[in-house]
Every structure is written in C-alpha cells, then in structure tokens.
Amino acid sequence: MIVFANAKINIGLRVIRERPDDFHDILSIFYPVPLTDVLEIHQSPRFEFHSYGFPVSSSEKSNLCVRAWNLLSENHTLPTVAIYLLKNIPTEAGLGGGSSDASFTLLALNEMFHLGLSQETLSNYALQLGSDCPFFIHNRPVLASGRGEVLTPLTLSLKGYYLVLIKPDYKISTAEAYSHIQARPEAENPAFIVNLPLERWKEKLVNDFEEYVFNIFPEVRIIKEKLYSEGAVYASMSGSGTSVYGIFRDEPPPMPWAKNHFYRVFLLD
C-alpha cells in the first residue's frame, strides 16, 4: 500500500499557559496543505524500516512510523511489514511531517489488515505518539486547543489561493522553542480572526514563536518580509519551526531569491 502523508500549516499560534505536565495549552488553526511524504507499506518476513529523502533526526527505534507500528502490534495481531518512507517534508520546520507520517501509518495499517478501527480509536492511538498526530487522522481545517489534541472543525477554506512555502536551512527543536516562549493567557482566539477578510489577518493573526526565532535567525524574518513585498495577502512562520509561508490571491511571481532554500508553490484545493 502507498499513502501520501501531507503537511499542515499553523494559521496563528498562541501559547496560552504552561501546564503542570510540562506541556503548554495553545490556540492555533491547523490547515492541511498538499506537500506530502510518501509511505509504502507491505507485508514482509521481518519488520523493516527504510527512510529516504530529507534525513530524519531520530533513530529507527524512536521514528514515529516505527512507534506507530509497535503501538498497533501491541494491541492487535498484525503480520510483520516493511515500511519505506520518502521524506519530502523538511524536518523541524513546523509543518507536522513526522506527526503526519505516524498517523498515516496508523491509517494504512488499519486499512491493510482490516482492523475496523474508528477515527476516534485511531485518534486515541495517535495521541500517544504526539500532540498534533490526531489532526492528521481527521485531516481537515480545525481550531486546535489543549496541547494541540482538542480539535474543533472549522469551515475555513483557502481553495483557489496559492501557497508559497519556504524553509531556510535553520533548525530549531520544539522543546527549545517552547523553553523561550512567554505564555499569554489573554491572547485572542485565531478562530475569531479568520472570520475577518483575509487582508486583515496581517494585523491580527500572531505566531508567538516568531519573536524568538526571528531574533536568533534574522533571515527567517527577512523571508516573511519578502513574501509580503512579493504580494502575499498573509505571511507567517508555521508552528515552532523555521518554515515561512505566504498566501497569495493570484499566482505568485517567480522568486529567484528563494532558490537557495526549500521553496515550493501550491494551488490550494
């Protein structure tokens, strides 16, 4: 079986409070985008995992695809499989690539071996792998709250808009980013803001991680500014990583200055 594990962007990201369990409560809109990793899974005499494309930072044992397989095999009788992962989504980018891979592994195994698991059950498994993994089980625009696992569906649609995605060669771990964040309990809910005309998002929608990341990597701030100068209606860093996206009403012009970075353009559907 071959499945395509898509990325997501954060539209606004507010850190509301630190929790007793060392996580943070957030408010953010998760929106699926068409940049995908490719997962191929088939039965095999022994378990195997192979990764290609962008290097994954974790060991095989801690890789989220492997952990997803282990989690299901602990609770269900499964044949052994070989998993081949082609990484097209950059790591430590704030795009949810690892979480998507984990969730799509659960979805594929459920379908391959006719486990009959509901979305709710799969979401509960996914949550054991990562806070934003349940999003990719449902894979539709949502307001994410709690630590990212409480998902409220939204009617938001960016169909027909163009998305420019740029990831410079800087990396920052989620743990490091959160260690420098200042919680803001009074932050405005992004779900209210996206009901405004898109032109007003620039003045209202905030990613709380930008202040810290822009200070240590000024080039990330410059990329955001350049996207606006190229005509983006809204531009932002995604998640706690270093990728930056711009939303354009019309097809964006070529951006030769971005060629030294990971640089992709998508028409959203």
- Fold classification of 2-153 is Ribosomal Protein S5; domain 2 (3.30.230)
Is 208 an annotated catalytic residue?
A: no
pTM of the complete model: 0.95
Identify the active-site residue in 132, 167, 208, 224. 132
Q: How high is the pLDDT of residue 58?
A: 66
Element (H, E) at 53: strand 48-53
pLDDT at 72: 97
Q: Which two tokens stand for residue 105?
A: 């592994």
Q: Domain residues of the chain, as ranges?
A: 2-153, 162-267
Cα–Cα distance measured from residue 98 to residue 223, given in angstroms and rounded to the nearest whole number:
24
Q: Spell out the CATH class of 162-267.
A: alpha beta
pLDDT profile of the chain (269 residues), mean per 10 = 98 93 92 98 96 82 92 94 97 94 98 97 97 96 95 97 96 83 89 96 96 95 98 97 96 96 97
Per-residue tokens: 92? 């430590």
The residues with which 262 forms a beta bridge, in sequence order, are: 167
Q: Catalytic annotation on 8?
A: yes
pLDDT of 60: 72
The residue from 8, 87, 167, 224 that is catalytic is 8
Name the pairing type of β-strands 81-87 and 24-43. antiparallel
Q: What is the pLDDT of residue 57?
A: 65
Alpha helices in the chain (DSSP H): 64-75, 97-112, 119-127, 133-138, 174-179, 190-193, 201-204, 210-216, 218-229
pLDDT of residue 177: 85
57-63's contacts with Cβ under 8 Å and 24+ in sequence apart are 57/91, 57/92, 58/98
CB atoms within 10 A of CB 246: 24
